Amino acid sequence: MAFGKKNKTAAVAADTSVVIEKPESRLKAMWDTLKMNKAAVAGLVVILILLFIAVFGDLLAPWDPEYSNMSLAFIPPCADHWFGTDQLGRDIFSRVLSGTKVSLFVGLAAVAYSLAIGTVLGSIAGYFGGKTDLIIMRCMDIMLSIPSILLAITLMAALGKGLDKAIIAIGTVSIPEYARIVRSSILSVKENDYVAAAKVIGNSNGRIIFVHILPNVISSIVVRATLGISTAILDTAALGFLGMGVQPPMAEWGDMLGRARSYIFSAPYTLVFPGLMITIAVLAFNLFGDGLRDALDPKERV
Amino acid sequence: MLKYIGKRLLMLIPVLFGVSLIVFFLMRVCAPDPAPIVLGQHATQESMDAWRQANGLNDPIVVQYIDFIKGALTGDLGTSYFTKAPVTEEIMARFPATIELALVAIVLASLLGVSVGVVSAVKKNSIFDNGGMLLSLVGVSVPIFWLGIMLIILFSGTMHLLPSSGRIDPALRPDTITGFMLIDCLLQGDMEAFWDALRHMILPAVTLSLYSMAIIARMTRSSMLDTLKQDYIRTAKAKGISDGKVDIKHALRNALMPIVTVIGLQLGSLLGGAVLTESVYSWPGLGNYTVQCIMKSDFPVIQGVVLLIAVIFVLMNLLVDVLYAFLDPRIKYAKKEV
């Protein structure tokens, strides 16, 4: 009995030491490296500011972004209208602020959508291998053989206008990328002993994939997703510019550019600020994403 | 090698089949009925029915698809709903404009991208390096259509230096021989038209090339940095060969492989970027036309364009893989695809 108790104490002691010596989590280590990277921190700060604008933009806007008044059309930037007014007399500064939530929302939602589907497809392909793998990855190859923006506008043509459709179109075109990344990550860990152990004790395939494998490959997915947001913001703007984005009078940066382009010579200021905002947002996510990648794997630094 | 190329070409068939299936499904099943769009809001029910019948849209969808594939195999992609002209003719009339623009852009992007990348790598952490990398970061972040608009405002609107739309002054337009404006002008010895065409080309080509330039510059820099660390570079320098010669002849040559890959892949993605660039500059190419056709639901044309671009895209990938073997004799494709 005493012997047993002693053993138990030893076991507890061992447990405690395990807790103490537990290595820092990968995310914590990533964050520590990331903090040293000024460009990445700057990107993160800009992202946080953009998120703030996205949430409170309509409250911060000095004018109603959707209120048009033809008698106020084409006022160049001045004290009342910092970025000027557009062809319908709407305040461009207010519309730029209001457009932030659309771009960020579509960007995040499109990435979430393609990440979800891409992860499931990539996991199934990588985990089961064989014919399943072949069929899924061939389908992904087919999607990759159409330039993404062309596929996105074809999808928009088929689905019709609207934000929800834009999310589907932009998200769908990047599914193959996530599927590929997840598949190769799964292939690299699925032969590990812990996966075999999980199988032996009778876990279902779904549980093994989602509970045992995916958490171990999540960091590379996070990096790709961050960079994916910048692509999604660019694609959203491109669809808007081509007139396939939001319905009027909603403000969206690409749509603002598309509608104002006829006034390129008479009122160039209408075209400067929405594009500048797109560039800033994309740059921020690129800087942050690059920083994340470097923090994760310094070897991949480009 | 030939066997490998043959195998890859065979693999094109399922890919193209898949692409045609996707596009056909999107255009004929998901998309709204084109009849009211083509015939106008006020068309009568009878005229719309007749139009659908005439264009085979009343047939079962499977029959429609088989007809489409049968036609495509014989080079007949159907006729445009609007111009009534064969889709292949419509495409071929605009294709050279797009290819010309894409080729000029990729040459520009490669020359500038490789130069910036090499300088950045050789002068690592210098002002050139930081400037070059900042430029390439902006290059991948700026929306291509906004860049186009800003360049038009600057160089056409403000400075009146360059034209903002079209391929050439209509008065100077040469007879079409190849469809490539610059080549046609040269063939006819019309230098005035050549310079005008070149001036029209500058802004669209710069706009289209910036993104690819940025990607190529980043890849060149990282590949060069890897190569410059190698022992043989140190040996070459120790032997007293000048730095410039080592950087170009010894380092760049060995760093070239990934750069060539990126350039090849970029040529494919330029065709996608051309959609936006052509739209901004009213460039009479395939990209601009495709956007218009999508707006008008001209399905046969959209199907044809997407198929054509997919073929080019896949062939470019194949070309890159084959170039690999030439650049690096260690790679052999004969036995098993790696």
Average pLDDT of chain A is 86
For B323-326, which contacts have Cβ atoms below 8 Å and span 24 or more sequence positions?
A: B323/B260, B323/B264, B324/B257, B324/B260, B324/B261, B325/B1
**Pick from B226, B210, B99: nearest CA to B147:** B210
Question: Is residue A258 within 8 Å of residue A88, measured between CB atoms?
Answer: no
A264 → chain B, closest CA residue = B153
Q: What pLDDT sits at residue A231? A: 93
Tell me the per-residue pLDDT of A258-295, one tens digit each, with 9 for 90 and over.
999 999 999 999 999 999 999 999 999 999 998 888 88
In Å, how far is A260's CA from the nearest CA of chain B? Answer: 11
Q: What is the ipTM of this complex?
A: 0.87
Residue B180: Cβ within 10 Å count: 17
H or E element that contains A166: helix A163-173
Residue with tokens 């797109």: A278
Q: For testing the chain B interface, which of A50, A138, A154 should be mutated: the one with the most B CBs within 10 Å?
A: A154
Which chain B residues have a beta carbon less than 8 Å from that of A286?
Answer: 137, 140-141
For range A229-234, the mean pLDDT: 94
**Ordered domains of chain B (ranges, CATH):** 87-327 (1.10.3720.10)
Tell me the per-residue pLDDT of B199-247, one tens digit each, with 9 for 90 and over.
999 999 999 999 999 999 999 999 999 888 888 888 888 888 888 888 8
H or E element that contains A50: helix A38-60
A266 → chain B, closest CA residue = B157
Q: For testing the chain A interface, which of B17, B24, B149 should be mutated: the one with the most A CBs within 10 Å?
A: B149
Peptide bond into A249 cis (omega under 30): yes
Q: Is the pLDDT of residue A20 over 70?
A: no
B277 → chain A, closest CA residue = A238
Q: What pLDDT sits at residue B254? A: 84
Contact flag B157-A264 (C-beta cutoff 8 Å): yes
Quick check: helix, strand or coil at residue B165? coil
Question: Could you give the angle at which helices A148-159 and B286-295 cross, rounded to 10 degrees?
Answer: 20
In Å, how far is A261's CA from the nearest CA of chain B? Answer: 8
Of A28-32, A107-111, B105-109, B244-248, the poorest mean pLDDT is in A28-32
Tell me the per-residue pLDDT of A56-93, one tens digit each, with 9 for 90 and over.
988 888 888 888 888 888 888 988 888 989 888 899 99
The stretches of chain B forming alpha helices (DSSP H) are: 2-25, 35-39, 45-54, 61-73, 87-122, 127-141, 144-151, 181-187, 191-228, 231-238, 243-245, 253-280, 286-295, 299-327
Residue A241 in contact with partner chain B when CB distance is under 8 A: yes
Q: Is the pLDDT of residue A21 over 70?
A: no
d(CA B146, CA B135): 16
For range A243-271, the mean pLDDT: 90
User: pLDDT above 90 covers what percent of chain B?
Assistant: 35
Joined together, the tokens standing for residue B312 give 């080019």
Question: Is residue A246 within 8 Å of residue A252, measured between CB atoms?
Answer: yes
Check the CA dihedral B73-B91-B109-A107 and report its sign.
negative
Question: Is residue B204 within 8 Å of residue B101, measured between CB atoms?
Answer: yes
Question: Could you give the angle at which helices A163-173 and A175-189 cross, rounded to 10 degrees?
Answer: 40
Question: Is residue B212 within 8 Å of residue B270, measured between CB atoms?
Answer: yes
In Å, how far is A12's CA from the nearest CA of chain B? Answer: 49
Q: How far apart are the first and last CA of chain B?
A: 14
Question: CB-CB: which of B30, B137, B291 is closest to A286?
Answer: B137
Q: What pLDDT sits at residue B243? A: 85
Q: Which residue has the higher pLDDT, A17 or A166?
A: A166
Question: Is residue B200 within 8 Å of residue B168, measured between CB atoms?
Answer: yes
E strands along chain A, which residues?
A: none
Q: Is the pLDDT of residue B264 over 90?
A: no
